Amino acid sequence: MNLRRRTVRARRWPYAILLVACVLWGTSEWFLPRWASSQLEQSLRRSLGRPGWLQVQVRAFPAFRLLAGRIDRLHVEAREFPVGGLAVEAFLLEGRGVVYDAPQLYRQGEFALNGLDSLRVSLVVNEKALNEYFWRQADPAHRFRLQLADSKASLSGSLDFLARPLQLAVSGRLSIAGPTSLSFLPEELSLQQFQLPRFILDAFARRWTIHLDFSSLPFPLQLTDVAVQQGRLYVYGQKAADTSHVQQ
């Protein structure tokens, strides 16, 4: 009788071990992505200047790979945070094959990127934020105002000449000036509704420069496209072609 019981118990052990393993695996698949997302979110919240809203989601299979600093898919959404002095209204990032320093994130709370396979980034900047940035950088007197409409950007305002205000209007476009930067390129300058020569336009452009830099983002970014729609600037980017600054 005792032998029979011991035999039954011996037969049950493999099933018990398998059950425990399944429970541990299922728990880790549920817990680890949420825990890693929370840790990364806290780190990015500091590096992004404490955005008004931030959400981070990570995916890895099996989830234990997160403990080794491996993410299959990374999704980041943020709203209302500064980049180089410019207030970004919305930010969306999709990354794949992300490699990071796990001990540095989980022990020190700092996200150190070591590499990634692909990256897609979208940023939205509204007209109000662009004007505030322009006034701080080039026009503290608020004489001019930037407007975004019809796929173009325009500056309009007035300058005093011989005690008379002169109405100026500059139309142009925001275009990619470098891997992580944009600049306003003026195309037409009008004074009191009269179009002025190009050399005057160039002199005006040197005085009223608009330069946007997104290099402070904690990812190796290269800008690919810019669009203007309904009073907002949309900036798109991907993984930088040169990622030599990323630790391998």
**Domain ranges within the chain, ordered by starting residue:** 1-116, 121-248
Question: Of the given ranges (7-11, 98-102, 111-115), which has the lowest mean pLDDT?
Answer: 7-11
Average pLDDT over residues 74-102: 95
Question: Of the given ranges (51-65, 134-148, 180-194), which has the lowest mean pLDDT?
Answer: 180-194
Q: Which DSSP string do the residues of 138-178 spell out, in sequence order?
A: T-TT--EEEEEETTEEEEEEEEEETTEEEEEEEEEEEEEEE
Average pLDDT over residues 191-197: 60
Cα 38 from Cα 111, distance rounded (Å): 12
Cα 235 from Cα 210, distance rounded (Å): 15
Question: Of the given ranges (25-34, 76-85, 149-158), which has the lowest mean pLDDT?
Answer: 25-34
| pLDDT at 133 > cutoff 50 | yes
* Cβ neighbours around 14 below 10 Å, total: 9
**Residue 205, pLDDT score:** 60
Q: What mean pLDDT value characterizes the chain?
A: 83
How many residues make up the chain in this entry?
A: 248
| pLDDT at 244 > cutoff 50 | no
* pTM confidence score: 0.82
